Amino acid sequence: MDKFRPESFLPLTPVAFEILLALADGERHGYSILQEVERRSAGAVSLHAGTLYRALARLLESELIEELNESPDPSSADERRRYYRLTTRGIAVARAEVARLEGQLVAARTRRLLKAVRP
Amino acid sequence: MNARRRSWLVEAGFSLAMLAYPRAFRRRFGGEMKDDFRQSPVGTLRTVRTLGTLSLNGLAERWSAIVRWSFFPNFTPHLYASSGRHFMFWDSFRADLRYAIRQAIQAPLYTALAIVALALGIGANSAIFTVVQGVLLKPLPYQDPGQLVMVWSHNTKEGKPENPISPANFVDLRDESGGFAALQGYYSFVGNTQIVIDGPPEIAVTSVVTPGMFALLGRTAMLGRTLVTGDPAGLVVLSEGYWQRRFGGDPNIVTRQVTLDGQPATVIGVMPPDFVFPYKGMLGPTGFTRNITVDAWTAMELSGPRMTDASGRFVRNVHYLAAVGRLKPGTSVEQARAGLAAIAARLEQAYPDTNAGWTTTVAPLHDQVVGGVRPALIILLAGVAVILLMACVNVANLVLARSVSRQKELAVRAALGASRWRMIQQALTESLLLATAGAVVGLLVVRWGVQGLVALAPANLPRLQEVAPDGTVLLVTLGLALVTGVFVGVMPALFAGRADVRHALQEGGRGAIGSRARHQLRSALVIAEIALAVVLTVGAGLLLRSFTSVMMIDPGFKPDNLLTLQMSIPYRLTTADARRVYYAQLFERLESLPGVTSTGGTTRIPLGSTNVTTSVQVQGQDVPVSALPEVEFRRAMHDYFETMGIPLRRGRGFTASDGAAALPVVIINEAMARRIFGQQDPIGQHIRTGPNPTGPWSTVIGVIGDIRHAGLEAEPAPELYVNYLQNPPVNPFIAIRTTTDPAALADLVRAEAKSFDPTLAIYDIRTMQQIRSESVAERRFLLLLIGAFGVLALLLSAIGVYGVMALVVSERTQEVGVRLALGAAPAEVLGMIVRQAATLAGLGAGAGLVLAALLAPMMASQLFRVPAMDPITFVLVPILLVGVATIAALVPGRRAMRIEPVRAMNPQ
């Protein structure tokens, strides 16, 4: 296989990035990703199931996320649920995307499009 | 947390939406998505939206899967890699497509023929559909047009359901009607108005409306404002077309001062280009106007001498208004009809003198506008559909003929293990490709065809200017292509699927095996084709026979060598005396022109103008006002009857001595004499117009022949003429009889009028033949199109017969060779071929006659003095078809005659 280059995945689609963000603090199943995205953005971003699973399919194909073989907490969860987590490649891509966005933020600040970070 | 179960309907909806996704995707994520869906919030609207988004996403996923599988199969490992079988269809589709394109390129003539035939068929259908859509289907350019209804008075005594309304009745209907959100009126005719803008007077076509009409229709101005309730007279709203044409699109048009019919008026606004009011169908019932494209709208005032009588009450016995109502939400047309009928019944009780026998008519506005042309357009649509069917049959025949030469190839494919379904799939791919190409070319046909149709269509076809291809037409075209492709593909494909491998491979020269089934199929196709052609040609024949019977009608006057024009005399001629002098001089000037034998004029020209009626009292006949007969009313000017060639049956015509100072005299036509006086001698009888108890009596001095006024097909109505000298009109039609071509005299007449008086407005110069021809424009349009379809159908069926017989000859070469070698005369061979073609044609013609007999009654509304089962048409058309088929068979027949026996028997 070719050498893995996280930059080749950039820029991520907003949906893909939201999914990677939601998975950053641990495994989740699909519906929980939906809820997390909605909670984090305070309802501003509403992810549709159709969009979510199409994005999951692409992320799985490019091995940025993977599926857990078993439920992390069998006692509380519906065992039919499939859980997803970031792969090391996924983490690298997410980091690269964050760096890219950060670069844009810095550029925006120097051009006074955005206020400086408050202390 | 437990997933809730939704109702079975929602669950079914979800499953249906999931079908949009590729199967592999569904297998992988379907369970999760279902759980998620069950947990998502409830709500009908939300569920519908969710399912919608779900299926759209599914289609997107399916599309991207197809693209990825087809073009980047090894690009990334992906979801669908392991389930390739699922994509076998697309894989083979790609191969089929490539193969079909290669085949098409290898046989350019065949491909071009097929595409042209399909393009014509599909394009013609879409073009006609475009017209039907623009005229019949598109909503009227008003807000919520479904709530709008047309209101007429219904004169039950005379059997006129669409009679204009009198001002008093309009006001009562408006004020008492409960089911309407609003009811507004307008003059039931559009008028030629003298307008002075910056030079000599010109003519503008105006519609007079109650000022609230625009609000009722829900339309606003694109510039300035519309009329609103409470606006006084003296305000004018322009149409976009007139504003562009006459004012050069002047952006400062609002507040501009003009003079309308001698009164100052202010322009307050310009309506958007798509605004049309009123449509032709919304004008009064009798007669028609040449030009109904309204240039300007002015406010109707419900006061003044036209509206009220001497005592200031609204007039109840003069009918010249029409009304449009907007139904309250939830009110049906039926309820509105019943409501108005109840008011009309009350008015009958309250005013028996004027209202006895009068009720109301309520019709949906859309029906009112397009109802009249619906049957003709439906016939066109049916006719063009038959053309498409014939094109399909022809192409199917072509495909079939080609499959003969490809029989071996197909057999090889079958031998190599291609399943029957795969072969059909391949054939379908080819025909769909052809049909799609046909549709793309057909779109050009649509573009030009619609332009041609609009140019060809009678100018008074309602909503013609609203006809334009749009997205719906594109969809219909694509739909037609799909249906056509499947239709064309299925028959040969079924045959291809039945190819017998062993025999096809063994077969040497002649197609013994499979050819029997193929022959039957091809013969059936030809029979079907001829049957369809018979149907179309019978239709065209019936229309042609109707058209000629209409044109043979004697209009009651001599339309040859007759030039007509309309004029509007200057406003300075305010007294009757001034106008008399003016007209006398004008007629003298016109009669002095070379080539002019006589001149005259009238207030309503037959076949080319609207109508006006009046009620008539006869001295000595005591009838209540409400029972007074209605007759058509005109003024005759100068030598009108002589100029028009209307014969005088009894008594005398008007003379110069019947002037202003003389006793009032009238001339009536034979229909009026019969209607009013029956067997009595009308000459010398005294009558007076209108329910006018004090007016002077007029003496009947003459009876003229009946003329056709409202149209060639309309029965002559009772007519009453008064002498213009007793009240000279301001807007007359002038008729000029010439010794030579009247059209050549138009410029001379115009120049003479200008030199006589530059402020005299002259317009609508036409020969009487032109007027007569325009009065049957709709009939001619339908005849031309169906006639063209008929010719096309004949051609297509001739090609079909030729194709089949050519194949027969080439397949029977050996047999014919043997016959010739054994001493058969070449003429016998020719006869055999031609007989076979004639048999096919005869069978087709028989089937076509049955079909035509079933369909002909559909055309009854378009027929005139010709029965739907017209024997002449039903006999001549099949003879024509069989004749055409026989001629088409002669070419292959001659080839068969020249077959050389030796060559034929040793093909290799």
CATH of the domain at A89: 1.10.10.10
Q: How far is CA B592 from CA B483, B595, B748, in A?
A: 68, 9, 12
| Residue B372 zone, left/alpha/beta (φ > 0; ψ -120 to 50; rest) | alpha
* Integer Cα distance of B360 and A92 in angstroms: 81
Q: Which residues of A touch B3 (CB under 8 A)?
A: 78
Instruction: Name which of A48, A54, A61 is nearest B61 (Cβ-Cβ).
Output: A54
Instruction: Name which of A48, A60, A80 is nearest B31 (Cβ-Cβ).
Output: A80
Residue to mutate among B23, B32, B46, B50, with most A CBs inside 10 A, is B32
Q: How many helices (H) and strands (E) does chain A have?
A: 4, 3
Q: How many CB pairs under 8 A join A and B?
A: 55
Q: Give pLDDT, residue B3.
A: 44
Q: Give pLDDT, residue B298.
A: 95
CB contact at 8 A, B704 and B647: yes
Q: Which residues of A touch B39 (CB under 8 A)?
A: 31
Q: Do A48 and B50 touch (CB under 8 A)?
A: yes
Rounded-to-10 torsion of CA B124, B125, B129, B131: 20
Q: Which residues of A touch B56 (CB under 8 A)?
A: 50
Structural domain includes residue A45: yes
Q: Give pLDDT, residue B907.
A: 54
Structural domain includes residue A5: no
Q: Give pLDDT, residue B88.
A: 56
What's the gap in Å between the CA of A102 and the closest CA on chain B? 29
What's the gap in Å between the CA of B40 and the closest CA on chain A? 9
Structural domain includes residue A65: yes
Structural domain includes residue A43: yes
String of DSSP letters for B448-462: HHHHHHHHHS-TTST
End-to-end CA distance of chain A: 46
How many independent structural domains does chain A possess?
A: 1
Structural domain includes residue A41: yes
Q: Give pLDDT, residue B903.
A: 72
Structural domain includes residue A35: yes
Q: Give pLDDT, residue B319.
A: 84
Residue of A nearest to B50 (CA): A48
For CA atoms B223, B229, B235, B238, the dihedral sign is positive
Of A32-36, A114-118, B270-274, B367-371, give the range with the top mean pLDDT: B270-274
> Six-digit token pair at B155?
């004169």
* Integer Cα distance of B207 and B209 in angstroms: 6
CB contact at 8 A, B892 and B808: yes
* Integer Cα distance of A45 and B769 in angstroms: 73
What's the gap in Å between the CA of A114 and the closest CA on chain B? 35
- A51 near B CB under 8 A: yes
Structural domain includes residue A100: yes
**Could you say which residues from 57 to 96 on chain A have a Cβ atom under 8 Å away from some Cβ of chain B?**
57, 60-62, 78, 80-82
> Six-digit token pair at B483?
């249906």
Instruction: Name which of A49, A54, A60 is nearest B36 (Cβ-Cβ).
Output: A49
Q: Give pLDDT, residue A78.
A: 55
Q: Do B56 and A82 touch (CB under 8 A)?
A: no
Q: Give pLDDT, residue B288.
A: 41
Q: Which residues of A touch B33 (CB under 8 A)?
A: 30, 49-50, 53
pLDDT at position A73 over 70: no
Q: Give pLDDT, residue B372.
A: 80
Q: Do A48 and B57 touch (CB under 8 A)?
A: yes
What's the gap in Å between the CA of B3 and the closest CA on chain A? 10
Q: Give pLDDT, residue B9.
A: 80
Structural domain includes residue A49: yes
Q: Which domain holds residue A47?
A: 11-110
* Integer Cα distance of B486 and B425 in angstroms: 10
Residue to mutate among B14, B57, B62, with most A CBs inside 10 A, is B57
End-to-end CA distance of chain B: 82
Q: Give pLDDT, residue A118.
A: 54
Question: Which residue type does B439 have?
Answer: A
Q: What are phi and psi of B378, to 5 degrees?
A: -65, -40
Average pLDDT, chain A: 82
Walk along chain B (908 residues) in steps of 10 and give the mean pLDDT of each run.
62 86 83 82 78 87 76 59 53 80 84 86 88 86 94 88 91 89 91 86 90 95 94 92 93 93 93 90 62 87 81 84 93 92 94 89 92 85 89 82 71 75 79 89 88 81 80 85 83 58 52 61 87 93 93 94 92 89 95 95 86 83 78 92 95 88 92 92 90 82 93 90 90 93 93 92 90 87 89 86 80 82 85 89 94 89 90 93 90 84 66
